[in-house]
Amino acid sequence: MTTPSEKTVLVVDDEPDILLFLQTALEDAGFNVVTASNGDEALQRVKECPPDFISCDLVMPKKSGVRFLYELRKHKEWARIPIVVVTAHARDELGSKDLKEILDGKILSGPQVYLEKPVRAEDFVGMVKRELGIVETAPSKAAESTDALKKQVQELLNSADPEALKEAARILKAKRT
């Protein structure tokens, strides 16, 4: 079974806060992440070590997302890397024409996926996992139950008076031995 720690995702975005947000979401899910702030940097990252997946902004300075994708198309191996376009310009004149070319399969083959900013971390990570064939494993009922009990105990401890805390500590110590 493939796990996120076995996969590297290249995140390309010129907005530092978006780049950090997407990077953090993926790292929290266990992925290895490399970043680039434009198409030129992204192409350099791919040359250094082709990633398993690419998240690419569409409108960026220097080399845009669409120009970067055209460069990928020229290389047989790189053209197969799954890509998601994450853009705030899906419906405006800055990006809609380029996005249409991508979605029509004129630039890359394979599943053409895009997300409109702002994106939710869960949606972004879930989409990356689906595209990479990473199956989510649901937490077991026992783990869910234990977590719920810990949360309930923590809430009770937070509002307990000193005598109740002493009694709770005594009971927990007795259970350890």
Q: What is the pLDDT of residues 29-54, one digit of tens each?
A: 999 999 999 999 999 999 999 999 99
Q: Is 129 left (phi over 0), alpha (psi -120 to 50) or beta?
A: alpha
More confident residue, 69 or 21: 21
Mean pLDDT of 147-166: 83
Which residues, in sequence order, are bridge partners of residue 54?
Answer: 10, 83
Compute and round to an integer the Cα radius of gyration of the chain: 22
Check pLDDT > 70 for residue 168: yes
Domain locations in the chain? 4-132, 142-175
Tell me what pLDDT residue 100 has: 74
Task: Tell me the pairing of strands 113-116 and 32-36.
Answer: unpaired
Residue 92 pLDDT > 80, yes or no?
Answer: no
Pairing of β 8-12 and β 53-56? parallel
Percent of the chain with pLDDT over 70: 85
Q: How many residues does the chain have?
A: 177
Report the percent of the chain where pLDDT is more than 90: 33
> Is the confidence at residue 177, as pLDDT, over 70?
no
Tokens of 127: 């989409």
Structure confidence at residue 142 (pLDDT) = 60
CA torsion through residues 170, 173, 174, 175, sign: positive
Pick the CATH number of 4-132 from 3.90.400.10, 3.40.50.2300, 3.30.70.520, 3.40.640.10: 3.40.50.2300
Range in 5-14, 101-110, 124-133 the model is least confident about: 101-110
